[in-house]
Amino acid sequence: MKIHAVVLAAGLGKRMKSTTPKVLHKILGKPIISYITDAIRGVDAVDKTLVVVSTHTEAIVPLYEGSGVLMAYQRRPLGTADALISGLTGVGDDLDHLLVLAGDVPLIRAETLEALIRQHLSHNNALT
C-alpha cells in the first residue's frame, strides 16, 4: 500500500500583510512548513512527500534540496483546489491513498497523522 502526502504551500498569505510567504514565517526559529514536513517524515506509512509552491513561495524549495521531498509548481494562484491539482500531477498515479495537508498548520504531529491514517484505513474510506 502506498500513501503519498501533498503539502499545499502556494498561497499568498495576503491577510498576514507580509512580504515573507506565510509558511516561511518562523516559530521558535523554524519555518512553519518545516513543522508539517517533519511530522510527515515521522509517519512510516507515508512513502512520498510533495510540496506545492508557486512563484510567490518558491523560496521554500532550498529548504528541501537533497531531502527527498518533491516539489510541484502551481503556475498561477487559482486557489486551494488548483494547488491540489498541481500536486496530484507531481505525485503521479502510483499510490493507493493521498494525505493532503495545508502548509500552515505547525501544531500537527506525526501521532495525529498516524491516527488519522489508521482510522481512514480501518474503515475502508474513500475520503476522510
Q: What is the pLDDT of residues 65-74, one digit of tens each?
A: 999 999 999 9
SS3 56: coil
Please work out, in degrees rounded to the nearest 5, the angle formed at the alpha carbon of residue 11 by the alpha carbons of 6 and 15: 140
pLDDT, one tens digit per residue, over 28-60 is 999 999 999 999 999 999 999 999 999 888 889
CATH of domain 3-122: 3.90.550.10
> H-helix or E-strand containing 41?
helix 32-41
Q: How far apart are CA 12 and CA 74, in angstroms?
A: 12
Q: Are 101 and 34 in contact (CB under 8 A)?
A: no
pLDDT, one tens digit per residue, over 77-104 is 888 999 999 999 888 888 899 999 999 9
Q: Taking residues 6-20, what's their average pLDDT?
A: 83
Res. 21: pLDDT tops 90: no
One-letter amino acid of 78: L
pLDDT score, position 55: 80
Q: Are 62 and 24 in contact (CB under 8 A)?
A: no
Which residue ranges make up each domain of the chain?
3-122
| pTM of this structure | 0.92
